[in-house]
Amino acid sequence: MKTILTKLFTIMIVIMKTILTVFLACAFTCAFTQNKINVVTEDIHNFWEAYDNMLEVDNFSDKLSTINKIYLDKQTAGLKKFRQLNNYKDTSYIKMLENYPSYFQAIRSNMHKLATQKELVESAFSKFETLYHDLQDVNIYFTVGCFNSGGTISDNMILLGAEILSADSTINFEEKNLKWLKDYAETQKIDNIDFFTIHEYVHILQKKNDTLKPTVLSACIGEGAADFVAELATEKPLNTPYRRYGEKHFRKIKEDFRKEMLSTEKHSNWLYNGHKFGEAGDLGYFLGYVICKSYYEQAIDKKQAIKEIIEVDYNDENAIETFLDKSKFYQ
């Protein structure tokens, strides 16, 4: 009898420990999602309501009135800031919808799906916190802009352009001047939004470069770090045109970069030029990613390496060059 009671007691202890473990895991996730991340999607719903109403009017002034009344007058703080940063006016939206009618008809279902990815984004942030503990509160706004930016940051806000992020391989691009977006969309999926969001969040965590003319190296490591950390946090490989092109032409790109990486004038050769060069654009992202990956692989303490990748001081060019040396990228 005593043996049976002992076994039962042991089983009860195991069950209680299991319940406690599950409870603590849930509590951790809930505490994180409640205190660290706030996903706001109402701008998307307001945009499509305005879109439907604009289909019922013909003249420009009525369309302006509609986009203002239903979309812009109800804008979230995120959309307001996104518009300020990109100089989006009410007329910008009318012109965009007139120029790309087929595209907006095609992405509607994707954009609505994008607005339902809150749990996916929260899961990525929970994973990220196991890699790096000093996270900050952040508000993530899914907005609709006018093709200037897929995403950017301002203070503790991540501002996402859903008109770009809704593009994927299922879209038939009928408007020819959206070729730059078609190249991006060929390998994209809506559920890659967690990768994109973590990329932008890393920029919030990074020490800002306050120098008037940072080097190309500094700027590229900053972008590459965001890509590399997003890859770790989401456990999804970086899948972009610049990575595929960069890997095919790695040796030449690497040597070309060495010649210009300490320049303060050659940024346009390496960054934010995908609309101009297609898959051969934005190669600074790729090189920065490879440098950070090499830095991580050289490190014995991987968590400390992640911390150093995120927190490198972009105001200190000596620190950036030391970072490059430790990565052994050119050795």
Stretch (H or E) spanning 275 = helix 274-277
| Domain assignment present for 92 | yes
- Closest alpha carbon to 143 in 117, 162, 115: 162
> pLDDT confidence of 176, banded at 50, 70, 90?
confident
Please state the rounded mean pLDDT for residues 219-237.
97
Beta-carbon count within 10 A of 121 CB: 22
| Domain assignment present for 165 | yes
171 and 220 part of one domain: no
| Domain assignment present for 65 | yes
- Please tell me the distance from the alpha carbon of residue 196 to that of residue 210, in angstroms, as a whole number: 24
151 and 253 part of one domain: no
| Domain assignment present for 15 | no
> pLDDT confidence of 2, banded at 50, 70, 90?
very low
> For position 279, what pLDDT does the model report?
87
pLDDT at 291 over 90: yes
157 and 237 part of one domain: no
Per residue in 46-69, pLDDT (tens digit) is 999 999 999 999 999 999 999 999
> pLDDT confidence of 274, banded at 50, 70, 90?
confident
Picking from 25-39, 230-244, 246-260, which range would have the lowest pLDDT averaged per residue? 25-39
Per residue in 130-155, pLDDT (tens digit) is 999 999 999 999 999 999 999 999 99
Q: Which domain holds residue 226?
A: 206-327
> pLDDT confidence of 33, banded at 50, 70, 90?
very low
pLDDT at 272 over 90: yes
pLDDT at 10 over 50: yes
3-state secondary structure of 292: helix
- Closest alpha carbon to 152 in 93, 92, 197: 197
Please state the rounded mean pLDDT for residues 164-193.
90
Mean pLDDT of the chain: 90
Q: Which of 125, 160, 176 is the last residue of a domain?
A: 176
Please state the rounded mean pLDDT for residues 320-327.
97
54 and 147 part of one domain: yes
- Do the Cβ atoms of 226 and 199 come closer than 8 Å? yes
Residue 133: which residues within 8 A CB-CB, separation 6 or more? none
pTM assigned to the model: 0.86
| Domain assignment present for 216 | yes
Number of domains, the chain: 2
| Domain assignment present for 27 | no
137 and 235 part of one domain: no
Q: Which residue has the tokens 């039962």?
A: 8
> pLDDT confidence of 26, banded at 50, 70, 90?
very low
| Domain assignment present for 210 | yes
67 and 154 part of one domain: yes
| Domain assignment present for 255 | yes
Please state the rounded mean pLDDT for residues 222-241.
95
pLDDT at 208 over 90: no
Please state the rounded mean pLDDT for residues 109-129.
95
